Structures are given as C-alpha cells and as structure tokens.
Structure 1
C-alpha cells in the first residue's frame, strides 16, 4: 500500500488522498453552513468518476425544513444535475454518520459507496443525538415504534393494482 493510502478499520475501502480532498470539500461546506447559520455542522459531497457532482451542507435552520440535512441536500443537487434519480455510480462523502432519514435517502438513491467522517456517538457528544430516531426505526421489537392505525380500503387496493 502506498504512503498515500491507508486502510480504514471499519471496512475494506482504501482511503486515498483524492478521497481526503472530497471529504475536505464536505467539511468546508459544513463550516460554511455554520458560519452562515444555515444549520448544524454537517456537509456532504457526491462524486462521480472523480468529478464532484454536488457539495452541500445542512440547511435546516435556513430553509425551516427538517429534511434539509447535508446528505439529502447533496443527493437532491446531484440528481438534478445528472437528470436522474439513481446514483449507483457515485460516491458519497459525508462529515458524519447519516441519521436514519438520510440513510433512507442514500439507499433510495442507489448509492453503494460512502465515506464517513465522525460517527453518531461523536455527533451526540456535541449535541446532535439521533439515538431516539435510531431506536424508533430499530423495529417493533424495540417497543418504540409509533402506533399505526390501519385504514386500508378498497380504494387503496385499486391504485396499487394500476
């Protein structure tokens, strides 16, 4: 392995100097977002074939939209730029482990490779604790799932059959 590469402990991905640059871009976007008071200190970038497609930060406060996390914003920009909803040939760089909502967006977009800076426990130490969300989505056996009242009707089945 060259001096420009290091093996990550949590996966078999090799982190190169280029990867570090794309992560630095995500970090710079996160810092800009904090300075601009757009939201929490989180940034993300989407890269395809070594070219940055999008770079975004958390804009929850600025947009007054709780879904405007860095990863979601970066995915939204990337799919608009590429003109498609599928990003399986792209790589995501994010400054922190994604929350459950962002994980859903990442999975729905088809992203297969992701580099993560801090983990959820580090974020929690700085006041960004998503444990309640992770617990909520752990499954019914956790006893925390929001109750769902079934309202299935014939109309529900009609649109699914189309």
Structure 2
C-alpha cells in the first residue's frame, strides 16, 4: 500500500531526504552524484523540500555532556488550569525555559512531558522551582541513567 507521502514525493525526493538526515554536511555536488541528478536539479529539489516543510531545519547536534549538562530529565507535569487562554500562557512560558528541549502535551495521567537538560542537582532544584511558579499542580521527574539510543533519523526508506 502506498502512503500519502509517497504520492507527494518521488523516490529521488526520498533519497535526498534520507541522505540529508544521515549526512547533513554532504555537498550539493555529492548529493547530486548519489541521486543521479545534475547539481542544479538537486539544489532545486532541496529548496522545494525546504519550502514545502519536509526539511524543517539543518542543525549541529551538540554533545550535552561535554558542555556540562550532566542530567537529562523527563519531567511529567499536571496543571489545574482548564481555561484555554491560561493554557496558552503556560505553554508560552514553558517555551521560554531554555532547559526544556522538548515539550509535549500528552494523554494519560499527566498533561505534559518535558525533556530537560540540567547541569546538576542544584540546577534541577532551581528548574523545579521555576515550574512551580507557573501553576503546576504535580511534577514527576525521571533522570536518564544511560542513553541506549538517540536518533533524529526518520525511517523514510525501508530496507
């Protein structure tokens, strides 16, 4: 069965996306060689994929431990807020906290899941105090002991 994405993107588009997500530093010339297109045609496809939102951004992923962020935490939070305007304000404030790498509104026992990087236990205490000032009613913090897998690569080409 063909997915909706495969109706929008052809196999060359998918190859380009797959190569860019695994080798973001690849030159346009090398990318063109690998997908068997001319450099201008490949460049035009990449620009179209960016414009259409298939390529969100290209970034360098830094080593958090080398930069002194020794704790990776997953923080579940509940709020007693039920009005949309107040929830919007809360989410705006959460977006401003630089320690938060990801914030997800979730289903289940908690309202939000935060992925947070912290330097040490003292900074964790300070971070939790910041959350408490935002009207959070319940917090559950889990510390990552060991990273088993960390990937940003989407399985767009199946082997």
Greater relative contact order (Cα 8 A, min sep 6): structure 1 or 2?
2
Place the TM-score, normalised by the shorter chain, in its bin: under 0.3
Q: TM-score when scaled to structure 1?
A: 0.25
Q: Which is higher, the Rg of structure 1 or of structure 2?
A: 2
Q: TM-score when scaled to structure 2?
A: 0.25
